[in-house]
Amino acid sequence: MPSRGTVAADSDAAHVARLYRAIYAVIRRIPRGAVATYGQVAELAGLPHGARVVGYALRISTPAMGLPWQRVVGKRSRGTAAVSILDPIGGAVQRGLLEKEGVRFSTSGGISLADHGWLPAAPPRRRRGRKPSR
């Protein structure tokens, strides 16, 4: 019989795996030529304030997963995002991939979220039956 510690660790691992799957599902929806911020991806995956978790999930992703990882960027200021990879080679690779998709960068390296920010369509609202009026 597994110890309580093992059961808790398995439960935690399953929870993290579910979170990462939700994050990856959101990232796969970002279309070519568009970007989403780490915070936005986290919120859409059901993890408000979980931008760092998105970073961790991307860090352990593999090329075999086919994620459009380059479309996830850091928020710089209101209405502006930027490549947030600190490694100069990795940052240049991300920028190059985004430029090939048509994403334009300002001279300071910013990306206009008004031009390239992804706004997913709202999920269809279910109609509720109307209550009879009195």
Domains contained in the chain, number: 1
State percent of the chain over pLDDT 70. 83
Q: Is residue 30 part of a domain?
A: yes
* CATH number for the domain that contains residue 21: 1.10.10.10
Q: Is residue 57 part of a domain?
A: yes
Structure tokens at 2: 């597994």
* C-alpha–C-alpha distance, residues 23 and 29, integer Å: 10
Q: Is residue 133 part of a domain?
A: no
pLDDT tens track for 70-88: 999 999 999 999 999 989 9
Domain range holding 91?
9-116
pLDDT tens track for 29-50: 999 999 999 999 999 999 999 9
Q: Is residue 58 part of a domain?
A: yes
Q: Is residue 126 part of a domain?
A: no
Question: C-alpha distances in angstroms, 21 versus 6, 18, 45?
Answer: 22, 5, 9
Q: Is residue 132 part of a domain?
A: no
DSSP structure string for 72-88: EEEEEETTEEE----SH
Q: Is residue 4 part of a domain?
A: no
Question: Distance of alpha carbon 44 from its chain centroid, rounded?
Answer: 8
pLDDT tens track for 54-70: 999 999 999 999 999 99
